Amino acid sequence: MKSEECIFCQEKTLRRIVMEVGSVYAIEDRYPVTTGHHLVVPIRHSEDFFSMTSNERRDAETCLLRLRRELMDKDPTITGFNIGINCGESAGQAVFHAHIHLIPRRKGDAKDPQGGIRGAVPERMKHI
């Protein structure tokens, strides 16, 4: 089921597909955190990661692995990745169609990358 209001269900987004694996597709993020930032999105309208089917999650993993390899082959400055999923408004989800961020990282692209995803709640990074 597609939602007319959902950006990931709209034809203009579907024309931006750079990779498709079974039940998911990948597009470049319109507001990239770093160069090469992509989103992996289920074709079926699914509100968040937890409402994706096991097949969609499996296809998403395959897509992430292929996309990672493709990005690293094109850009040898990539030395790491952040993979992110926001589920729910309180977790920062702004588009309520499941999507997985694949964000390439390069040495020196952030002043202090220590803690990675824990930076989502900066005051909770005290373990470092």
Residues carrying an active site annotation: 99
Q: Answer for the pair 41, 97: CB distance below 8 angstroms, yes or no.
A: yes
- Sign, CA dihedral 23-13-66-98, equals negative
| Side-chain-side CA neighbours of residue 62 (13 Å) | 14
Instruction: Supply 48's token pair.
Output: 């968040």
Q: Give whole-number Cα distances, 88 to 35, 39, 59, 85, 93, in Å.
A: 26, 17, 22, 10, 5
Token pair recorded at residue 62: 């395959």
